Each structure stands twice: as structure tokens, then as C-alpha cells.
Structure 1
Amino acid sequence: MREPVELRRKRILAVVHARGAVKVSSLADELDVSAVTLRRDVEELARTGMLRRGHGVVRPVGDAGPATVPAARSGGPAGEEAAIALVVPERHSYLYETLHGARTALEEAGARIALHIAPQAAGAERPQVERALAAGVRGLLIAPRWRSAEGEKADYGWLAGVGVPTVLMERRPRPGSALHAMDTVCSDHWYGIHLAVDHLVSLGHRRLVLAARNDSPTARSLRAAFADVAAARPEVEDWSVVLSSPNAGPGEPGSREEVPDLAALLRERGATGAVLHGDEDALMLVQRLAESGVRVPRDCSVVAYDDVVAALGSTALTAVAPPRAEIGRAAAELLLHRLSRPAGTTGPVRRTELLPRLEVRGSTGEAPLPKV
């Protein structure tokens, strides 16, 4: 039987009055109540003046002390628990869902959050991290933009030496690099491409195209995975990888790629299946295909990669959906685990991958019969 709300709140008040300052996260564990439910109760009790609430801590109303508990490391006002920094790129809808997942997990744990938005300029994350460290943060969750492989490599050295527990979100550094021994949580994009190719092959498609971005670690992983998966499938007779739009590359000298007319390329290669990354590019490419007389899915089946807005097109796009919010939550939980360990004990580095799923919609169907 579910515990009555009033009884649960009386138990909360009893513990707080008996102990004084109590962490919300500890209170949830002790009372065997979910963090979300407990936070809602605490907010209501504070609103009605029955207790005092601070950053992740509650105290009795009559206690004149600050509504905080001493922190292991302090970077703000006296007694205030040091924050966890969240650093993400601006205007990045994919990573904002990851941010939301991390934020939810941190709030449930009663952690204080310091959000830093990095501008789109190359190397913009470093000043944000340095600002956070100067403010005394105790941990770092970061998802660098890393538009090019060179820009990614340039960040390895300083990021490896930040000096606080750090977890990379939706990023997997190169093997053997300075960041190989840093905790990471990301999507298994090879598996995501496998899902897309396997779906198209199961529908009889034998000639495939990947039109993808080339301005992020995810995009580079998708390109490498597509070449690997398509080459290994004996059913695939022909495949190619092209840039999805003129602004989808890193834009650095020597990195320019030709952007082909996708409809013309499909006709030239006889391709009947396409994987398009990311969602906005995919929706625009499907529109251009229609304008060129290529009907989706009758003439060409399309699988989008990202699934942020893929379902919103006039033809809802079948899409690979990486677990964006779950990536953020898992990264935050890993960082909290690191911060909870006794000083000097770290445990093994964790490189965690979560599997995407395939959402089948109206943009894929059986391959058209060959023309005779």
C-alpha cells in the first residue's frame, strides 16, 4: 500500500528536527523514498514554512545556522557545497537532451550545478572549464563540440589535467590518447549504423548511400561505422559516403568536401536506400528528393540518424535514436560515484556505451523491383 503523503511528510520533519542539517539525497535513502518524491515534499514543506531548504540540504525552521552542510571543497560562500560544472556547446539540440538527463540526475542527488555554455568558436570549452575551476567546482561533466579531429586532439592535453573528477558525455577519445584513461559515457554509434543498414537490407535494399555530417565526433564515428558495416555485409552490392549539406563540415582549410546532388547520386549509383545524418539535414534532403521526382519510400527508403525531429516531417522518418538523455544521466551518476569515494581511491576508469534503438516509421519500405 502506498504511504499517505501526510505520514511521509511527518517522517521527513521528524528526521530533520532530530538531526538538524540533512542532505536531501541521504534523507531519500534513509526514508526509502524516491529523490523526485522527496524533493517535491521538501519544496512543499519549505513553502508552508515547516522547514528551511538550501542547496541539497534541509534544516529545522528554528535552526539559525545556514541551510547548508560543509563541503569537501568549497568554492562559494562559506559552508556552501562546491558545484558540479556542466559544459556543453551552444545551439546543439542533440546535446541539450544529454544535458537535461545529467541535470535531472544531479538535482535528484541534491548536487549544486554550474552550467557553462561554450560558444561555437574552436577551443571555446577551455575558457569555460578554467572559469569553472577558478570558482572551485568539485567535478566536471563535459561534451566538447570538437568539430574537427584536429580540434579534438588539441584539447586532449589540457583536459587531461583539469585536476577534478571528470566525465566526458557522448564523446569517445582516440585510443592511446591522453584522455584514454578518462571516464566516458557515450552511444554505441557502430550499433546504431548496424541497425540502420540491417533494416534496409532486410527490406531488400542492396545499394546504399550515407549522406552525413562531418563536423562532430558522432559524425566521424557514423562515417567510419557505415564503411565498416556496409563493407562487411555480403548483401550490399554498392555503397558510398557523401556530405549531407554545404555547412555540415568543419569548415577548416583542407577539410572541404564536395556536396553532391543526392537525387542524381542515387540515380547514378542505382541506390534505393539512404541513411541521412542529422535530422534537419535529413528532412531537407527528403524535400529535395521529392522536388527531383524521387519518392520516399517508393523510390528510396530513408533512415535518419539522431531522432530529435525526424518524426515531424510530412513523411515521418524512420530513425536511429541514440539514448541522449540516458547518456547524460549515466554520466552524472558516474561522476557522483567518483565524488562519493574516499579521497585517494578512484577505482577503474569506466568507458560506458549505451545502445541506440531503431524507430520504424513511414520513410522505409521494400526495395522497388529492378527496372527491365
Structure 2
Amino acid sequence: MREPVELRRKRILAVVHARGAVKVSSLATELDVSAVTLRRDVEELARTGMLRRGHGVVRPVADDVPARAVPAARSGDTAGDGAAIALVVPERHSYLYETLHGARTALEEAGARITLHIAPQAAGAERPQVERALAAGARGLLISPRWRSAAGEEADYGWLSEVEVPTVVMERRPRPGSALHALDSVCSDHWYGIHLAVDHLISLGHRRLVLAARNDSPTARAIRSAFSEIAASRPEVEDWTVVLSSPNAGPGEPGTREPVPDLTALLRERGVTGAVLHGDEDALMLVQRLTESGIRVPRDCSVVAYDDVVAALGSTALTAVAPPRAEIGRAAAELLLDRLAHPAGTQGPVRRVELLPRLEVRGSTQELIRSAD
């Protein structure tokens, strides 16, 4: 599915605001966007006053505002004046770019200097980015690792737990008892998000449910676990199942291969009338396929998407669970700034913060219409 224009432009703004000034050619390569598309986006963003254009360079509109200058070192700031805070996020990840935007806003308001490091889509890609940032003198780290599998997540625990600057993990919840359990983190409460989705469907009379979800991120794994637990515990639910949402929604765990069912056939075979679909792009495509197969949304099947990045943009706007993406980034940045403002040993206990998602009810869910016996 082609990336929506508004999301691509959000990614452009995130990089420009984090860097302060970026070459157009470098920006196109970094964001994996054609030069023609990038220039068109830059022209439109400049026209609407959201960034400034120069000779082959783009800058944020606030580039000349004194608040962007690096402040004098605060009490307990041992890295020296001008040391930056490093933000590390995966490339081409619209969900986490909104988290990045929230973090960047909070850091800029505090006058902190930022360096953005985008990790490519490869196992272990975050570690070289972090090492590069530390070698350049970063005084703090905000990081959202991709962690496509639980094994890949575990592989990063050792080196990330040994980073020698204050670190906050954004929108990730390290495994309890792991080496990162005692690392500051700020995350959405995905259990609660799935609770909202299931409870909404049950309240509308739906009793046979399916979760069609990804299996290539910590969020996906948390959603799958929560759905299984909640659906099994609700006596109203007569039947439920969890399936992979699309062929590219894996790979899941090494050595495993999860089949991708025909969702249309599955809904008919099991009499499913309520579906939770993760993430938004897969959800929109699945709804299109259901419609093409004669399953009407929401008359025949109510659908709740999980992510709410582009869920409202479909021909039928999707009811969606909306994790507080920008607020996660802001809370993580504020926590890191608090760590940096206090000398080591006076910073208080480690904090594992969870923020609750909300449910945005739109046109893809309705009360179940039962046929007459």
C-alpha cells in the first residue's frame, strides 16, 4: 500500500525539525523517497509555512528562534555544553514517527539539541546508530527499537542495558526480569487498548470474534497476547481466533511460519461478526477485500482497527484503538530531561510508565442485526 502523503510529510518534518537543516538530496535517500516526490513535498510544506527552503537545503521555520540554541549545562549535566540528546527510531515507521514528533516537541521546548538516527530495516540495526551517537558525545538517549521478533529483542537487551548515558525506551515494554527491566520506559497499555476493542464489539452484540494481526513488533505481540487472554475470559464470547493479517506481517519468531488465511472464508466458516485488525494499512486492505467478496462492513461484520494512523481515511472510516503516540514521546522526553537535570544517585527510582489508549468510534462498527428465526 502506497504511503499516504500526509504521513510522508510528517516524516519529512520530523527529520528537518530534529536536525535543524538537511540537504534535500540526503533527505530523499534517508527517507527512501524519490527526489521528484521529495521536492514536491518540500515545495508544498514551504508554501504552507511549515519549513523553509534554501539552495538544496531545508530548515525548520523556527531555525532562527533562540530557543533552539543549546542552553548552558544544567545542574548534574556532566556531558558538557552543547551535548545532544540522541533519538533512535526505525526507518519507514509512521506509527513511531508520531512518537518521535512528541519527543522532539518536548525537547525543543526545553532548549535541548537533538540528533536523529534512523535505523535501517535489519536485525541489530539500532546498535551501530547508538554507538555512533555516543561516540559523537550524546548525553542522553531516547530509543524505539524495531524488535521484529522476541529473539531479536532479547539479543539487544545486553548491550542496551550497558549504555552509559541516561536512556529511556519509547513505546516498548522490555520483558519482566530481563536486563532492561530496570531501564526507564514509556509505553502504551496495549492490553487496555484491546480491552476497549473487545468490550465495544461485545456491547454491540457480537459474540464470535477474530483478531487479524501483525506478528513483527512488540506492539503486535502484546496485542495478540491481550486478545487471547481477554477473549478467553469473557463469557459472552462464543468463539474467537487469532490469525496473521497479511503475508508481509511476519516473520514472527525464527523458524516459524504462520499461514495467512482467507479472512473472507474464515468469517463465513466461523460465523464471525466482529473483527479487530492490526495495523491500519492491513485493516484498510482487509476491509476492501471483504467488501469485494460481498461482506458488508459494518452490516455483516463490524471492524475495529488498531493504531489509528490512517484508519479514518478509508471509504468506510474505521472505528479504531488510538494509542497516545505523541504523548508517549513527550512523556519519554520529559522523563529523560528529568534524569539529566539531576546528578547520578539522586534521580529517584526507575519508572515504567504506561499511558492508556482511547477508542475512536466511527462508521465501521454497529449493533449486530440478528436474522429472524
Give the TM-score category using the shorter length: 0.7 to 0.9
| Distance 1:184-1:238 versus aligned 2 partners, 3 A rule | same
**Is contact 1:322-1:355 (8 Å) kept?**
yes
Provide Cα deviations, 1:229-288, integer angstroms capped at 9, x if missing partner.
111111000000000000001266422110000010001111100000000000000000
Matched, 1:72 2:97: no
- Residue matched to 1:3: none
- Residue matched to 2:39: none
Provide Cα deviations, 1:213-244, integer angstroms capped at 9, x if missing partner.
00000000000000011111110000000000
- Residue matched to 1:104: 105
Question: In 1, Cα distance between the equivalents of 2:214 and 2:266?
Answer: 17
| Distance 1:371-1:154 versus aligned 2 partners, 3 A rule | farther
Question: In 1, Cα distance between the equivalents of 2:104 and 2:318?
Answer: 29
Gaps in structure 1 of 5+ consecutive residues: 1-42, 58-67
- Residue matched to 1:147: 148
Q: Which moved more, 1:361-370 or 1:95-104?
A: 361-370
Question: In 1, Cα distance between the equivalents of 2:114 and 2:68?
Answer: 13
- Residue matched to 1:92: 93
Alignment of 1:202-241 (within 5 A): 202-241=203-242
**Is contact 1:242-1:260 (8 Å) kept?**
yes
Question: In 2, Cα distance between the equivalents of 1:324 and 1:215?
Answer: 18
**Is contact 2:297-2:364 (8 Å) kept?**
yes
- Residue matched to 1:55: 69
- Residue matched to 2:115: 114
| Distance 1:235-1:69 versus aligned 2 partners, 3 A rule | closer
Question: In 1, Cα distance between the equivalents of 2:106 and 2:211?
Answer: 35
- Residue matched to 1:330: 331
Q: Following TM superposition, by how much is the alpha carbon of 1:342 offset from its aligned partner in structure 2, in angstroms?
A: 2.2
Gaps in structure 2 of 5+ consecutive residues: 1-61
What SS does structure 2 have at the residue aligned with 1:316?
A: coil
Amino acid at match of 1:166: T
How many residue pairs get aligned? The number is: 311
Question: In 2, Cα distance between the equivalents of 1:214 and 1:144?
Answer: 15
**Is contact 1:213-1:245 (8 Å) kept?**
yes
Question: In 2, Cα distance between the equivalents of 1:197 and 1:114?
Answer: 40
Alignment of 1:331-346 (within 5 A): 331-346=332-347
Q: Following TM superposition, by how much is the alpha carbon of 1:367 offset from its aligned partner in structure 2, in angstroms?
A: 1.2
RMSD, aligned CA: 1.8
Amino acid at match of 1:124: A
What SS does structure 1 have at the residue aligned with 2:123?
A: coil
Q: Following TM superposition, by how much is the alpha carbon of 1:81 offset from its aligned partner in structure 2, in angstroms?
A: 1.9
Question: In 2, Cα distance between the equivalents of 1:334 and 1:110?
Answer: 15
TM-score by length of 1: 0.80
Question: In 1, Cα distance between the equivalents of 2:258 and 2:142?
Answer: 33
Question: In 2, Cα distance between the equivalents of 1:166 and 1:297?
Answer: 44
| Distance 1:154-1:265 versus aligned 2 partners, 3 A rule | same
Task: Point out 4+ residue stretches in structure 1 off by more than 3 angstroms.
Answer: 68-74
Amino acid at match of 1:72: D
| Distance 1:53-1:139 versus aligned 2 partners, 3 A rule | closer
- Residue matched to 1:290: 291
Question: In 2, Cα distance between the equivalents of 1:261 and 1:165?
Answer: 47
| Distance 1:221-1:253 versus aligned 2 partners, 3 A rule | closer
Q: Following TM superposition, by how much is the alpha carbon of 1:69 offset from its aligned partner in structure 2, in angstroms?
A: 5.8
Question: In 1, Cα distance between the equivalents of 2:274 and 2:253?
Answer: 30
Amino acid at match of 1:106: L
- Residue matched to 2:244: 243
What SS does structure 2 have at the residue aligned with 1:283?
A: helix
| Distance 1:337-1:368 versus aligned 2 partners, 3 A rule | same
What SS does structure 1 have at the residue aligned with 2:118?
A: strand
Alignment of 1:266-277 (within 5 A): 266-277=267-278
- Residue matched to 1:24: none
Question: In 2, Cα distance between the equivalents of 1:371 and 1:83?
Answer: 66
**Is contact 2:186-2:352 (8 Å) kept?**
yes
**Is contact 2:68-2:112 (8 Å) kept?**
no
**Is contact 2:68-2:108 (8 Å) kept?**
no
Amino acid at match of 1:241: V
Instruction: Percent identity, please.
Output: 82
Question: In 2, Cα distance between the equivalents of 1:196 and 1:252?
Answer: 26
**Is contact 1:73-1:136 (8 Å) kept?**
no
**Is contact 2:77-2:343 (8 Å) kept?**
no
Question: In 2, Cα distance between the equivalents of 1:53 and 1:355?
Answer: 31
Q: Following TM superposition, by how much is the alpha carbon of 1:355 offset from its aligned partner in structure 2, in angstroms?
A: 0.2
Question: In 1, Cα distance between the equivalents of 2:372 and 2:246?
Answer: 30
What SS does structure 1 have at the residue aligned with 2:116?
A: strand
- Residue matched to 2:38: none
